[in-house]
Structures are given as structure tokens and as C-alpha cells.
């Protein structure tokens, strides 16, 4: 099949430009090896830099055009020096999550050979888990539209934490199916519900829905952990976990903690998936201090490109796209195993361009 696959490309701010270019170069290389599939990129300008010039955070009709694509790829958005009057950063990405219902935030956490491992225990080399973060509700519900915050006066602000049954049911179904898929690939295939059900009614509701859905997936092992205990266990025994499903803010914090165990945010790939579209991005920030200096680690973006191809393979029923995704993952695995990937982020001697070229060589 040669029909073009449409990608809305938002490079954004800072190193978002650098790593987005790297990721798309890798994606195109992998596709050239496995199929005649072509990605058609439609660039959409958005971010803090765009806001500073135009007074809006995304170009006219940019959101609607993004939604018409088969998938969205985002580099990074936000600049610490450019903020709204209330002190919050420019974040059209949160609105895209909200508008397109990107409820399933998938954050893989995997240890690679010769990449930094912060834990001394030799079992740390086997860390391979996923933080599954609900991405449209929870405490971030207010952040997507500031009108949802309850501002009483200049002495108090209240933000709304929202958990709904329809979204939570979809999230848990997604989690069980993801754990089942990982089990088929030789992983543990266990889904752990992470919450604070002993304190908050919203979290007890989140767990209640988990328990209602679990019997539909009798082949998937389940577990429970309060979020504070889960933070402790990610330091004590992260190798015991497979897929962790949780509320938005909990997932925002724990996914960064887990990322720190396997090298840092330069390895933090991310997929945000809804019923009709998916958005893919490295989970790191825009790091404007190193923009354009060939210092950024592009691997989080590159691995996010692989997640995008895997998603498109299922969405469009095109298995050759999954083959390309597998090539990217294998190239990164081999690159670290053979000590061919040495990003500056880890104290190595390879910048953005050098890492990108090495991954391309490994795919070839």
C-alpha cells in the first residue's frame, strides 16, 4: 500500500525543533526499510515562541487541522520566560489532550545496557515497565481550561480534580489490554492500580471501576498500591512492576521519577492515545538553553516516533508500520548494547546529530 499517512507535526519550542527533526528522519528511514509507506507531514506552528509573536499559542485552525491527521507528533512546548498573566506556562498541548480526548498517556520506562542506572541493585538492568497515566482528567482537568479553576479571591485558589466513569472505564480497559499484549510478548502482563483510595473519594471511585472491569480480563494479574507507597517501591523494587495505571497528576510525577531510574528525561518517550487520534512526544521539556547547539538527546523523540508507528499500524491496519517501529526499538537496543550510542546527556561524546546518524546507520 502506498497511500500517504498524514502526520500533524508541531515542533514547538527550544529543542523541540531539534528532536522532532531527528525523530522524523529516523521514522522515514525505518519506513524505507520495511515498506513503501510515506508519511505526509503538515507542520503546525504552536508554542510559547509563537505566542510571544502572535498573542495566541497555536496558529489559526491549527487545532482542527491536527485533529484531521492520522497522528500528531510534538517536539516540546513551553519557555520559562514566557508565561500567562497568572504565572502558568503556555501549554496548547494540554488543550489538544482535552479537545481530542487523549485519555491514555503511555510512558514506557526501560533500562538499556550502558545507559545510566541510578540503582546499585543488579536487577535494575531489567527495569521494563509502563506508567499509564489518564491524561484528560484528574487534577490536570483545571489546567486544560483555567476557567475550571475556582478562584475565590487573592488569598485562595481551588483547582478541580475530576474523575468520570466513561473516561476511567476506557482507561482501565486500555490498561488491561496493554498488560495482555505485553504478556503475549513475554513480559509479566500485570496491571497495578495506583491511587489514594484510603483518603480521597475520587480515588476510591477510580479503584471501584478498576475492580468492576478486572473480571473481564481474568488472564491478567492485578495489584494495588497507594501512590506514596508506589513512589517508594519505584526506588526499592521497580523490577517487580509491569503496567501501572493511575490518575493524571500521580502519573505526571511518578513517570518522571521512573524515568530517572533509567537515564533521565532524554529517554522518556510518550504516547497519548484517544478514541480517534494519538499524540506522540518526548516527555522532556524544551531546554531553550541548548537549542540548536547539537547537545540534546533525541532518543526520547526517536522512541516516541516508534510508538507512533506502532499506533498507526493498529489504527490503519497496516502491519508494515509495526515492522518499522520494531526496527527503531531494535536499533536503539543494539546501539546501547554495543556502546555505539553515547549521548551528551549521559556524559558521552555524541550530540543530537551524531546520535541520529548512528541510529540511522543501525537501521540500515
The pLDDT, as a whole number, for residue 87 is: 85
pLDDT, mean over the chain: 95
Q: Which residues are registered as beta bridge partners of 115?
A: none
DSSP 351: -
Average pLDDT (287-313) is: 96
The pLDDT, as a whole number, for residue 42 is: 97
Residue 225 near residue 240, CB atoms below 8 Å:
no
Average pLDDT (204-229) is: 98
Q: Is the pLDDT of residue 1 over 50?
A: no
Distance from C-alpha of 249 to C-alpha of 147, rounded to nearest angstrom: 19
Q: Is 322 helix (H, G, I), strand (E, B) or coil?
A: helix
Q: Is 5 helix (H, G, I), strand (E, B) or coil?
A: strand
Range from 62-71, 110-119, 188-197 carrying the lowest mean pLDDT: 110-119
* Strand ranges (E), 219-320: 221-226, 243-246, 269-273, 278-282
The pLDDT, as a whole number, for residue 96 is: 95
Distance from C-alpha of 115 to C-alpha of 124, rounded to nearest angstrom: 11
% of the chain residues with pLDDT over 70: 98
Q: What is the Cα 107 distance to its own chain's centre?
A: 5
Residue range 22-81, pLDDT digits in tens: 999 999 999 999 988 889 999 999 999 999 999 999 999 999 999 999 999 999 999 999
Average pLDDT (269-285) is: 96
H/E stretch holding 58: none
Structure-block grid coordinates of residue 210: 478498576
The pLDDT, as a whole number, for residue 280 is: 98
The pLDDT, as a whole number, for residue 287 is: 94
Q: Phi, psi at residue 222, to the nearest 5°?
A: -125, 160
Distance from C-alpha of 195 to C-alpha of 244, rounded to nearest angstrom: 10
Per-residue confidence band for 146, with pLDDT thresholds at 50, 70 and 90: low
Judge if 1-102+275-364 and 117-261 fold alike in CATH terms: yes
Query: Would you list the domain boundaries of the chain?
Result: 1-102+275-364, 117-261
Residues 6+ apart with CB under 8 A from 232: none
Range from 131-145, 258-272, 290-304 carrying the lowest mean pLDDT: 131-145
Residue 38 near residue 5, CB atoms below 8 Å:
yes
Assign a CATH topology to domain 1-102+275-364.
Isopropylmalate Dehydrogenase (3.40.718)
Question: Which residue would you say has higher pLDDT here, 87 or 18?
Answer: 18
Task: Tell me which residue has cell 500500500.
Answer: 1
Q: Which of 304, 317, 300 is nearest to 272 (CA)?
A: 304
Average pLDDT (83-110) is: 92
Average pLDDT (117-142) is: 94
Distance from C-alpha of 296 to C-alpha of 12, rounded to nearest angstrom: 15
Question: Which residue would you say has higher pLDDT here, 35 or 289?
Answer: 289
Q: Is the pLDDT of residue 93 over 70?
A: yes
Per-residue confidence band for 2, with pLDDT thresholds at 50, 70 and 90: low
Residue 161 near residue 138, CB atoms below 8 Å:
yes
Q: Is the pLDDT of residue 223 over 80?
A: yes
Q: Which of 216, 223, 168, 160 is nearest to 194 (CA)?
A: 223
Structure-block grid coordinates of residue 298: 533525541
Task: Tell me which residue has cell 507512533.
Answer: 308
Residues 6+ apart with CB under 8 A from 254: 131, 194, 227, 230, 231, 234, 244, 246
The pLDDT, as a whole number, for residue 212 is: 98
Q: Is 115 helix (H, G, I), strand (E, B) or coil?
A: coil
Structure-block grid coordinates of residue 364: 540500515
Structure-block grid coordinates of residue 248: 493524571
Q: Which of 173, 297, 195, 300 is nearest to 246 (CA)?
A: 195
Q: For 117-261, which CATH class?
A: alpha beta
Residue 273 near residue 308, CB atoms below 8 Å:
no
Amino acid at each position: 500500500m502506498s497511500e500517504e499517512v498524514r502526520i500533524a507535526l508541531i515542533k514547538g519550542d527550544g529543542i523541540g525543533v531539534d528532536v522532532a527533526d531527528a525523530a522524523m528522519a529516523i521514522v522515514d528511514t525505518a519506513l524505507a526499510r520495511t515498506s513503501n509507506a510515506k508519511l505526509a507531514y503538515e507542520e503546525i506552528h504552536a508554542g510559547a515562541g509563537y505566542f510571544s509573536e502572535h498573542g495566541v499559542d497555536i496558529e489559526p485552525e491549527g487545532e482542527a487541522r491536527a485533529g484531521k491527521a492520522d497522528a500528531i507528533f510534538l517536539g516540546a512546548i513551553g519557555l520559562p520566560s514566557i508565561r500567562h498573566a497568572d504565572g502558568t506556562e503556555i501549554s496548547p498541548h494540554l488543550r489538544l489532550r482535552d479537545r481530542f480526548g487523549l485519555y491514555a498517556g503511555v510512558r514506557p520506562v526501560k533500562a538499556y545496557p550502558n545507559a545510566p542506572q541510578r540503582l546499585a541493585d543488579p536487577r535494575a538492568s531489567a527495569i521494563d515497565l509502563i506508567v499509564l497515566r489518564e491524561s484528560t482528567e484528574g487534577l490536570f482537568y483545571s489546567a486544560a481550561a483555567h476557567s475550571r479553576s475556582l478562584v475565590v479571591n487573592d488569598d485562595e485558589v481551588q483547582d478541580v480534580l475530576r474523575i468520570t466513569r466513561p473516561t476511567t472505564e476506557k482507561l482501565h480497559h486500555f490498561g488491561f489490554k496493554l498488560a495482555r499484549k505485553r504478556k503475549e510478548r513475554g513480559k509479566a502482563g500485570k496491571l497495578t492500580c495506583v491511587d489514594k483510595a484510603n483518603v480521597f473519594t475520587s480515588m476510591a471511585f477510580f479503584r471501584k471501576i478498576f475492580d468492576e472491569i478486572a473480571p473481564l480480563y481474568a488472564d491478567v494479574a492485578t495489584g494495588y498500591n497507594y501512590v506514596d507507597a508506589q513512589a517508594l517501591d519505584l526506588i526499592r523494587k521497580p523490577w517487580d512492576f509491569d503496567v501501572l495505571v493511575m490518575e493524571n497528576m500521580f502519573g505526571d510525577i511518578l513517570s518522571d521519577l521512573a524515568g530517572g531510574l533509567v537515564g533521565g528525561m532524554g529517554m522518556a518517550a510518550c504516547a497519548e492515545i484517544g478514541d480517534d487520534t494519538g499524540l506522540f512526544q518526548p516527555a522532556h521539556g524544551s531546554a531553550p538553553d541548548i537549542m540548536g547547539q547539537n547537545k540534546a538527546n533525541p532518543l526520547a523523540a526517536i522512541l516516541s516516533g516508534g510508538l507512533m508507528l506502532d499506533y498507526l499500524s493498529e489504527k490503519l491496519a497496516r502491519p508494515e508500520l509495526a515492522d518499522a517501529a520494531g526496527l527503531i526499538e531494535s536499533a536503539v537496543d543494539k546501539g546501547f548494547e554495543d556502546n555505539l550510542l553515547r549521548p551528551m546527556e549521559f556524559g558521552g561524546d555524541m550530540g543530537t546529530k551524531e546520535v541520529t546518524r548512528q541510529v540511522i546507520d543501525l537501521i540500515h
